[in-house]
């Protein structure tokens, strides 16, 4: 588990727990059936195209903000999703981070480059 995110664009550190969904079963379960979270869930996608980076919020109980990052950890797309919805990003992503809605509001934005710490 990592302890936060360093925003290389703003030179600010955001202290938040991060969990990594780095295998098939962790990615499959994601945040389904959780009642609440106090961390960010990082998906390492290793996919070949943008359609494999699509996500859903089936069986979720709260809204989430989803950040799509390229291989350089630069945020290129952000989407807020309600339970029982789906979304496919505008291009292939290397990482996807899910937070509870508004958790990173005014801390991360499109175009920011980050580093996990």
Write out the E strands in 22-107.
Answer: 39-44, 55-56, 64-69, 75-81, 86-87, 95-100
Q: What is the pLDDT of residues 7-18, one digit of tens each?
A: 999 999 999 999
Of 59, 109, 104, which is closest to residue 85 (Cα–Cα)?
Answer: 59
Question: Which residue carries 């109980």 as its tokens?
Answer: 61
Of how many residues is the chain composed? 117
The pairing of beta strand 12-21 with beta strand 39-44: parallel
Comparing CA positions, the residue from 76, 80, 73 lying closest to residue 105 is 80
If you classify domain 2-116 with CATH, what class do you get?
A: mainly beta
Q: How far apart are CA 60 and CA 74, in angstroms?
A: 27
Q: What is the pLDDT of residue 51?
A: 63
- Residue 111: Cβ within 10 Å count: 9
**What pLDDT does residue 36 have?**
87
pLDDT tens, residue by residue, 53-70: 788 899 999 999 999 999
pTM, to two decimals: 0.91
């Amino acid at each position: 588990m990592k302890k936060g995110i360093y925003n290389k664009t703003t030179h600010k550190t955001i202290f938040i727990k991060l969990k990594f969904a780095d295998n098939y079963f962790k990615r499959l379960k994601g945040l389904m059936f959780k009642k609440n979270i106090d961390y960010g869930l990082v998906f390492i996608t290793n996919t070949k195209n943008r359609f494999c980076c699509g996500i859903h919020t089936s069986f979720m109980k709260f809204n989430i903000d989803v950040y799509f990052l390229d291989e350089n950890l630069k945020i290129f797309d952000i989407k807020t999703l309600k339970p029982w919805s789906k979304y496919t990003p505008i291009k292939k992503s290397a990482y996807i981070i899910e937070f509870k809605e508004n958790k990173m509001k005014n801390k991360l934005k499109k175009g920011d480059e980050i580093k996990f710490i």
